[in-house]
Amino acid sequence: MSMSVLSHDEIFRLIKDGSLSIEPFSEDVVRENGLDLRVGSEYAIYAFDGQVIDPCELESARHLFSIVEAKDGRIVIPPRSFALLTTMEYVRFPRDVVGFCNLRSTLARYGLSVPPTIIDAGFEGNVTIEVINNSGNYMVLRPGMRFLHVVLVKTIGEAKYAGRYLGQRGVTPPKGMKNEC
């Protein structure tokens, strides 16, 4: 069986028939083989440094993060650090489409990266994504800039995401894993 990556025309067809929803929608987010989602206006950084964090002991990790509004239209990610960013867009994926997330290659060439991340079939919400600054420089991102390239792939069969992040709005810190370990 082969994987089917959705092209520009197929993505527009899904948007037109209402299977795929992107709000607010701008035609320039639809690319040749995916979506380029834009940076939202808030982000999260660790509130503390040098702590021992054991996800298996936490019911929630929200207290570990400071959620910040972009000051002067800038999100500054310190050297060799990371920030949780959110997309400007609230998306609703069909039950037979998943998204593989990558950073736009132009931003990767500055030393930024994102870990492997999948948007599950049937997911809806703003996408929270970890952006890692691998460089020795302070990197600036701006709300509204295209940053997250999402390759859309058709699944065999359907699924509906039912996890804790369903319907999330804005940047969402990680859940605790106390009941999973």
Which of the residues are catalytic? 130
Q: Which residues face 82 on adjacent strands?
A: 132
Query: Would strands 65-69 and 30-31 be described as parallel, antiparallel, or unpaired?
Result: unpaired
Q: Counting every residue, how long is the chain?
A: 181
Name the residue type at position 26.
Answer: S
- Burial readout 108-141 (b: 16 or more C-beta within 10 A, e: otherwise): eeeebebeeeebbbbbbbbbbbebbbeeeeebeb
The Cα-based distances of 130 to 20, 40, 86, 162 in angstroms read: 23, 13, 9, 21
Tally Cβ neighbours within 10 Å of residue 64.
18
As a whole number of angstroms, the distance between CA 126 and CA 143 comes to 14
